[in-house]
Structure 1
Amino acid sequence: MASVESQSRFGQSVKGLLSDKVGCCSGDVIALPRQVLKGSRSQESLRKMSIITTHLQYQEAIQKLEHSKNLQDQLRHLLK
């Protein structure tokens, strides 16, 4: 009788451990796609920031060119 009872407790113990392990793994399985999505979003954000940086550099170059043209016009006007 003690043997049957100890086997039953052992079975319950193993069931509990397996249940805990499955719960832990299913949490990991859920977390993995979230991390992948985060990584995708991070890559997308980096790509967008790169585009914005390039755009701002173009704007700065255009502003410098306009400023240069204004200075040239002022210089021509002064030299007349």
Structure 2
Amino acid sequence: HSPRVPTHLHSLTEMMATGKPGQSLKGLPTEKVNTCGTDVIALTKQVLKGSQSSELLGQAAQNVVLQEDAILHSEDSLRKMAIVTKYLQYQQEVIQKNVEESSDLQDQLNHLLK
């Protein structure tokens, strides 16, 4: 038992080959049948390309979401680094002030010991 071609596809094939629906492929020149087969193959390739395009678009959308998450994570890290930088600047100022005071105390101590 051979596979049954759906009626609408059979009619499409007939129409592509003969230009008229309802005409059989029997008795058509081989060249016309080959052209019809080539057209069906080209149409099939286009449908498959469209399917692949949809898959690629889906993958691209997933990649955009992943990149967006990475960007948000980076922004959060930058905010945290800015806080740490401010804290370190404050610490540096305190240390600098202590060094200056220490230097003053050293001068006073030297003056007292003379």
Normalising to structure 2: TM-score of the pair?
A: 0.61
One-letter amino acid matched to 1:45: S
Structure with more relative contact order (C-alpha pairs < 8 Å, separation 6 or more): 2
1:64 aligns with 96
1:14 aligns with 46
Instruction: Give the number of the structure whose residues are more often helix, by fraction.
Output: 1
Greater gyration radius: 2
- Residue aligned with 1:78, SS: helix
Which structure 1 residue ranges, 5 or more long, are not aligned?
Answer: none
Matched, 1:43 2:93: no
How many residue pairs were aligned?
80
Which structure 2 residue ranges, 5 or more long, are not aligned?
Answer: 1-24, 26-32
Separation in 1, partners of 2:109, 2:49: 88
Runs of 4+ in 1 over 6 A off after TM superposition: none
Matched, 1:77 2:109: yes
Separation in 2, partners of 1:37, 1:44: 11
One-letter amino acid matched to 1:15: V
Cα deviation, residue 11, structure 1:
3.8
More displaced stretch, 42-51 vs 24-33: 42-51
